[in-house]
Amino acid sequence: MLVHLPIGGLILLAVMELLALFPRFKDAAQNRRVILAVVLAGSAGSVACGWLLAQSGGYEAQLLFWHRWTGIAFAAACVLVLWLARPGRLAAYRIALLMTLILLVVAGHFGSEITHGRDFLSRHAPASLRALLGQSAPPKAAAVPADFRKRQLYAEVIRPILQDRCTACHGPEKRKGDLNLDSLANAKKGGENGPSFVAGEADESQIIERILLPLDDDQHMPPDGKPQATAAETGLLRWWINLGAPEKGTVGDFKPDADVLRMLEGMSSGKGPDGQRSKKSKCVSVANRSGVR
């Protein structure tokens, strides 16, 4: 609701301003400052919520970057427009309003690409129109680089997640709760409380249950204050367990749906609160992550 309120409000205002150009409706936009105040409040709230949501990770870094900054620029532009909306400044006000409207479309478009996927506008368009837009390949293949599909699901996706988030405490050296998540065989064996996962039943699996517990719960994993698994990482772990926790096979072999591909994309895009998993900068990224949370 927050994010759509400024969109509706600003478009309504633009329509009223257009009407006000005709003598018959010259009073149509009399209450522009009221509408602008509501739009401004909505966009400030959206920026705050968006910023928090971005911390949860799992979003493609590049799209997130553009959405974040065009969104903030939009909120700033609303302040300017509100300030200009007074007698004597009508021309400047109208130009600023038009610019803000364009910014709104751009910021909104990045936002919807984040939530619905990059090609959401053309995904269901007829092939001829897609060709015109330069998107002749089938939508899913176009949306995701092929190399995700070639990766070994356990060895190159799942194990690195466990190593990043868990094996500092559940590895060959330290085995908290007598649990070693470093190899599949050991993970299967589990710890003091039995197997760490049930193949095919992610939601019955200890590792997923514990990750999903509230942060302040004693049983939550990784413990509060340690770098946390992102939404994308958790989603991939669940997907893998629900597939039966296979050790062999590429991502492509398991027919990932659009959600899974987006999680993979979010994980490997490199930058952003979510993607810092390069081995070299581990200390730095661990510090960053615990700073964020």
Q: How far is CA 5 from the centre of its chain?
A: 21
Q: Which stretch binds ligand HEC (CB under 6 A): 29-37, 44-52, 136-144, 202-210?
A: 202-210
The answer to the question of residue 160 lying near ligand HEC (CB under 6 A) is no
CA distance 276 to 281: 8
Nearest approach, Cβ of 164 to ligand HEC (angstroms)?
A: 8
Nearer to ligand HEC, 37 or 169 (CB): 169
The answer to the question of residue 199 lying near ligand HEC (CB under 6 A) is no
> How many other C-beta atoms lie within 10 A of the C-beta of residue 266?
25
> How many other C-beta atoms lie within 10 A of the C-beta of residue 65?
16
Task: Identify the bridge partners of residue 177 per DSSP, sorted by sequence position.
Answer: none
> Based on the number of CB atoms within 10 Å of its own CB, is 169 exposed (0-12), middle (13-18) or buried (19 or more)?
middle
Whether 181 contacts 170, CB under 8 Å:
yes
Nearest approach, Cβ of 200 to ligand HEC (angstroms)?
A: 17
Please pick, from the candidates 222, 235, 266, 273, the single residue that binds ligand HEC as defined by CB under 6 A.
Answer: 222
The answer to the question of residue 207 lying near ligand HEC (CB under 6 A) is yes
Task: Identify the bridge partners of residue 136 per DSSP, sorted by sequence position.
Answer: none
Nearest approach, Cβ of 53 to ligand HEC (angstroms)?
A: 21
Name the 3-class secondary structure at 175.
strand
Q: Give the residue from 74, 232, 123, 228 showing the smallest Cα distance to 165.
A: 228
Q: Which stretch binds ligand HEC (CB under 6 A): 112-120, 136-144, 173-181, 250-258?
A: 173-181
Task: Identify the bridge partners of residue 152 per DSSP, sorted by sequence position.
Answer: 250
The answer to the question of residue 190 lying near ligand HEC (CB under 6 A) is yes
Please pick, from the candidates 22, 146, 192, 255, the single residue that binds ligand HEC as defined by CB under 6 A.
Answer: 192
Phi then psi dihedrals of residue 146, to 5 deg: -65, -25
Say how many residues touch ligand HEC, by CB under 6 A: 23
Please pick, from the candidates 14, 169, 199, 258, the single residue that binds ligand HEC as defined by CB under 6 A.
Answer: 169
The answer to the question of residue 188 lying near ligand HEC (CB under 6 A) is no
The binding site for ligand HEC (CB under 6 A) comprises: 165-166, 168-170, 176-177, 179, 190-193, 196, 206-207, 210-211, 219, 221-223, 226, 229
